[in-house]
Structure 1
């Protein structure tokens, strides 16, 4: 019944609530959906290690795992795809981003590279994949071959200054620049977005778009909304995000109910 349907869910604020928990009703509906042949995919800005942690904790596995906002895609056993920031942009990005003096971390395919340990109260990862690099700016410039994301912590006005400098020097179409929370900015390849990752999964599974459902709550999820007529803003999504989705649902379980009803 569900073998031709795909559900793609963001993690924080969508599949999980603010406390990192999923309601039991939604969890059981996800499991039933998968048992009925449905395709279920987690798509998040987190590292792949965090997706696997949540899968183990909840007792189910998604058919594909999209991590780092679409930069890395795995199936249940092997890596399928990853996209790094073009090396020709690294020197300029390093100078601009590290030059503002804000805490900046850089990810590669498997790890987060930290300039120093995080304050324990600021640790959001479920699984610590971090490596401390004392001179991170030089390491990224001279040694790191596969940088996927710059993650900078600060405030909106500071992020706007970074955006303006990057676009002035590299152009508006060089890289993606996204506020992933009120206090975090991510910069990654222009070839990367959650939406583009979902497109790849649709092609892999050879599904029709009207049978694809996406759910999210933040700016980084909006690109997923545009690949299907069945996009949902969920939980505490702000009005600006809800306006860009086709529908609103309180939680993922409600979306699955709609899928079974044939919406």
Structure 2
């Protein structure tokens, strides 16, 4: 029996307009009405996706900022993490010379040193509330603690940048995810969506075999690697798809399979 269903947001539950397709919303309602717990797992901060939670008819568990924060449907915090400020500054310095847009998360607020016109358009499209503060990097210390930051840019330069960081052993201190073809997320070491799912599992007292998850990007792979019932979106990169057990066209399709499996495993009353 699947007792917890976890979904990614962007390009999985959300369409290109950053809304939930009515088909998927109806499927989630059926899932929750059947007694299955529901969770969102995303690289976004909670402030960025609260409008999605508000659209749902039921409260949901939340794994935000790629596992930095894990909260129950009742709002109880199960986990939180921060990045070492010095390492954060060093990695940001490594990006000098690249044409990346930098976003830094301090708790639930998102900052950027410079908000270009292109970045303003991106932030508006993503419904991303951002504070422009050209001194934010200098302010990072023991009193202003970053929990996640990301670089937005073209895929090939981002991949070169990740290789550059690997050569300098930054992965001893942080984890890196290509969360989309144009975004690299940097989070505290050991933090991932998989970490967040594990914390929810521990809290709910269920097993990994009782969890299903769906996503479309490399930051979803840590979820795929720990649960028995994983679904990759059909538009996902082949490297993401190969990590999942199933490939689907929509969240609704994954939910349909989960409900079918749960129905088949219900005990027959004689």
TM-score computed with the length of structure 2 as normaliser: 0.86
SS in 2 for 1:117: coil
1:70 matched to 2:67 = yes
Counterparts of 1:153 and 1:127 in 2: how far apart (Å)? 13
Q: Which moved more, 1:96-105 or 1:207-216?
A: 96-105
1:41-78 Cα distance to aligned partner (Å, 9 max, x none) = 0001111023321021243321x111111111122324
Alignment of 1:141-152 (within 5 A): 142=141, 145-152=144-151
1:130-172: CA deviations, max 9, x gaps? 22212232122x4653211221122234323432443333444
- Equivalent positions of 1:116-195 (< 5 A) are 116-119=114-117, 120-123=120-123, 124-126=125-127, 128=129, 130-140=130-140, 142=141, 145-195=144-194
How many pairs are equivalent?
A: 258
Unmatched 5+ residue regions in structure 2? 263-270
CA distance in 2, matches of 1:28, 1:151: 33
Q: 1:199 aligned to 2:217?
A: no
Q: Answer yes or no: is the 8 Å Cα contact 1:46–1:125 preserved in 2.
A: no
Change (3 A) 1:117 1:231: same
* TM-score (norm: length of structure 1): 0.88
Structure 1 pair 98–143 and aligned structure 2 pair: CA distance change class (3 A): farther
The superposition leaves residues 200-230 of structure 1 with CA deviations (integer Å, 9 ceiling, x where unpaired) of: 1111111122211010011111111011110
CA contact (8 A) 1:235 1:250 kept: yes
Given the alignment, which residue of 44, 47, 52 partners 2:45? 47
TM-aligned CA deviation for residue 118 of structure 1: 4.7
1:202-217 → structure 2 map (5 Å cutoff):
202-217=201-216
Gaps in structure 1 of 5+ consecutive residues: none
Separation in 2, partners of 1:221, 1:56: 23
Range that drifts further, 232-241 or 207-216: 232-241
Q: Paired residue for 2:11, among 13, 22, 32?
A: 13
C-alpha separation between the residues in 2 aligned to 1:97 and 1:127?
22
Q: Distance in 2 between matches of 1:189 and 1:56?
A: 29
CA-atom RMSD in angstroms? 2.2
Alpha-carbon separation, structure 2, partners of 1:155 and 1:16: 22
